[in-house]
Amino acid sequence: MRVALFLTCVNDTLYPDTGRAVVNLLTRLGVDVDFPLAQTCCGQAHYNTGYRHEAEPLARQFSDVFRGYEAIVTPSGSCGAMVRELYPRMGERARAEGRGDTLARTLAPVVPKTYELTEFLVDVLGVTDVGAYYPHTVTYHPTCHGLRGLGLGDRPRRLLEAVRGLELRELPGADECCGFGGTFAVKNSDVSAAMGTDKVRNAESTGAEVLCAADNSCLMHLGGTMTRLRTGMRPVHIAEILASTEEEPLG
- How near is the Cβ of 222 to another protein at its closest, in Å? 9
Start-end of H helices in the chain: 9-14, 16-28, 44-49, 52-66, 77-81, 87-96, 102-107, 117-119, 144, 155-161, 184-187, 189-205, 216-228, 238-243
The three-class DSSP label of residue 216 is helix
Is 19 among the residues that bind another protein (CB under 8 A)? yes
Build a one-symbol-per-residue string for 55-94: x at contacts with another protein by CB under 8 A, - elsewhere: x-xx--x---------------------------x---x-
Closer residue to another protein in complex, CB, 91/181:
181
Show contacts with another protein in window 220-239 (CB under 8 A). 220-221, 223-225, 227-228
Alpha-carbon distance of 169 to 137, in angstroms, equals: 7
Burial 75-111 (b: 16+ CB within 10 A, else e): bbbbbbbbbbebbeebbebbeeeeeeeebbebbeebb
Closer residue to another protein in complex, CB, 137/191:
191
Show contacts with another protein in window 129-168 (CB under 8 A). 144-145, 148-149
- How near is the Cβ of 28 to another protein at its closest, in Å? 11
Is 189 among the residues that bind another protein (CB under 8 A)? yes
Q: Binder to another protein among 3, 4, 6, 24 (CB under 8 A)?
A: 24
Show contacts with another protein in window 26-55 (CB under 8 A). 27, 33-35, 37-41, 43, 45-55
Is 13 among the residues that bind another protein (CB under 8 A)? yes
Whether the Cβ atoms of residue 202 and residue 172 lie closer than 8 Å to each other: yes
